[in-house]
Amino acid sequence: MCGINGILAYREANPIDLAELARTRDHMAARGPDGKGEWISDNGRVGFGHRRLSIIDLSDGAAQPMSNAHGALVVTFNGEIYNYRELRCRLETKGYVFRTTSDTEVLLHLYAEKSQEMVYDLRGMFAFAIWDCNRRELFLARDPYGIKPLYYADDGRTFRFASQVKALLAGGGIDDRSDPAGHVGFYLFGSLPEPLTLYEQIKALPAGHMMSINAAGVGSLRSYYSIAEVYVGAETMPQATGQARQAVAREALLDSVRHHLVADVPVGAFLSAGIDSSALVGLMRDVGQSEIETVTLAFKEFEGSANDEAPIAEEVARAYGTRHTTRVVTKAEFDADLPHILDAMDQPSVDGVNMWFVSKAARERGLKVAISGIGGDELLGGYPAFRDIPKWVRWLSAPAAIPGLGEFVRGALMAVGPDHFHLSPKVAGMLEYGGTYEGAWLLRRGLFMPWELEGVLDRDIVSAGLSRLTPLAIIGAALNPTPATGFARVACMEASLYMRNQLLRDADWASMAHSLEVRTPLVDAVLLKQIAALGPPDTDGQAKAELALAPSAPLPSSVIQRGKTGFGVPVGAWLARVSPSVTLGKRTSAYGYTRGWAREVGRRQSSVYFEQALAV
């Protein structure tokens, strides 16, 4: 895992600014503390930077940027290619000679063999750039799920890219004019939806996309992977049931875990009291990992409550014989770390504090790689949204189709005030939004509803931001093409929006701040295709049964029977002045605390725009 960056002056006679290249690269030092490198083209108009966290092939020969033997191709790469050994064997049979045992060199030879079509062969998490000296062309690609970030800026003469937004800004060559759509997107969703950032000039290369830049300019984005297409394609496949279904699921899960353990350093695991992380530890045992380091967070504020994961996690650790650490996090530590958390937070998010501390704890144990259970709920229907959203759409689609009715009801309820009835502000929009999957998902996952935004942002900013953002269109893009089942539609939205823009992005910035690589076996394109082919799970049975039953040594019953609580941190209790003005009824809610934390993040983020725009 690494930090990458580069500059291409495609319409500029002058060479690139080498100092800018170095500033951008070294802003990402925490992403790659094991080494740094740079490459500059002969004419000085192309430059790559790299910060290295060595995981596969620890030798100096695997340092980056890396060129092939003839110097015709150069790559800077962030991520891991889990099937690189199979790809290497295939390439060697075609005459390619390897100088290292790294997955980076596989990318160079695979590009030489297949050009941009190489992306279809890759299994892993990745963001990379390849300079093709013969074609005088820059090629960028990002993994199917968007596990690894890649941002770019183009001013019409110079193209820049990097693993972090703040790294691009640190280079000093980019206009930092703020984007109203990005700010509105944060308050709507609690994170910024791709491809937006807080800045007009900086965009994210979307997940599952590639692009090329040459003397003619920046080419159009090209999509090579769609979660929705996977679900639509699975609808024509025969579906297994009963024991056959479980056998297929177990083999698919074992295969993914096996691939995600490929490394030349020890691979540990985050362990909570839930099914996802617990089952993954059991599967790590099943594929032959004999020594496993596991880490759990604990908080005094949660002690003895349902949110206290430590006792059950320790039971799981004993069951699978791991070397386990329960790391207690206090308010004093949170207060001390908060400025560092917000500095490392590359884009604003209402989450990520949990990942910050568990990554910190893992690094304290000497780990450079840890397995995370992110993705289990999206893959196997673990969220209440899988039940609620199809139900809302069934009930509300007819009345929601009556022109003007939903907007009238919302206006009437907001005039009275939902708090008057001890209701969430979202209730006012149920009839207006709940009749479609896009609208219902916004109600389920939204932070502030569109009609509330003027309470936290200036009216002109809200107007400009909403006109460019078009929230329902952003959500609807996750359903193109549209799967037939409600389960698949919710799975597409959860994976393409909430997981991608919040969970995976938070996992990246929070872990890399501690020079730790997080791997997610339940977020894997090959696994998705195999699980989607099984069809929707029996939601009336055991939640995530395929995963819970997958390890050969059964999970403790305490894990199976435990209700879903999420991976929480008592931020609300720690930030007394943020204890929310928003409540559900007469009791303080997790929803209210999240809204309060969003305001706090907004106030403290580095963007001057927040300081000027917030009306709170």
Domain ranges of the chain: 2-225, 228-382+499-576, 385-487
Please report how the helices 227-234 and 486-493 are oriented relative to each other, as an axis angle in degrees rounded to 10: 160
pLDDT one-digit tens code per residue, 9-36: 999 778 999 999 999 999 999 999 999 9
- 529 phi, psi to nearest 5 deg: -60, -40
Instruction: Name every residue whose Cβ is closer than 8 Å to that of residue 429 and which is 6 or more positions away in sequence.
Output: 406, 410, 439, 443, 449, 451
Q: Is 338 exposed, middle or buried (0-12, 13-18, 19+ CB in 10 A)?
A: middle
Q: Where in 265-381 does DSSP place strands (E)?
A: 267-270, 293-298, 323-328, 369-371
Tell me how far apart the alpha carbons of residues 310 and 295 are, in angstroms, rounded to a whole number: 10
CATH number of 228-382+499-576: 3.40.50.620
The confidence score (pLDDT) of residue 580 equals: 40
Phi then psi for 78, rounded to 5 degrees?
-120, 120
Cα separation of 495 and 209, whole Å? 16
State the pTM of this model. 0.94
Per-residue pLDDT at 614: 37
pLDDT at res. 589: 53
Q: What is the pLDDT of residue 561?
A: 84
Cis omega (within 30 of 0) for bond into 570: no
Query: Could you tell me the fold of the domain covering 2-225?
Result: Glutamine Phosphoribosylpyrophosphate, subunit 1, domain 1 (3.60.20)
8 A C-beta contact, residue 281 and residue 316: yes
500: exposed, middle or buried (Cβ count in 10 Å: 0-12, 13-18, 19+):
buried
CA 202 to chain centroid? 18
Q: In this structure, how many other beta carbons lie within 10 angstroms of the beta carbon of residue 107?
A: 24
Give the pLDDT score at 415.
80
Dihedral of the alpha carbons of 438, 443, 445, 449, in degrees to the nearest 10? 110
* Angstrom distance (rounded) from CA 47 to CA 40: 4
Q: What is the pLDDT of residue 43?
A: 94
The pLDDT score that the predictor gives to residue 539 is: 62
Distances (CA, A) of 295 to 262, 272, 273, 274, 316: 20, 8, 11, 13, 11
pLDDT at 593: 60
Query: What number of other Cβ atoms are within 10 A of residue 85's Cβ?
Result: 15
The per-residue pLDDT for range 469-504, each reduced to its tens digit, is 999 999 999 999 999 999 999 999 999 999 999 999
Task: Please answer whether residues 544 and 275 qualify as being in contact, where contact means their C-beta atoms are separated by less than 8 angstroms.
Answer: yes
pLDDT at position 462 is 95
- The list of the chain residues with pLDDT below 70 reads 1, 418-422, 539-543, 563-568, 576-593, 599-600, 602-616
- pLDDT score at 421: 61
| pLDDT value at residue 575 | 72
β-strands 202-204, 217-218 pairing:
unpaired
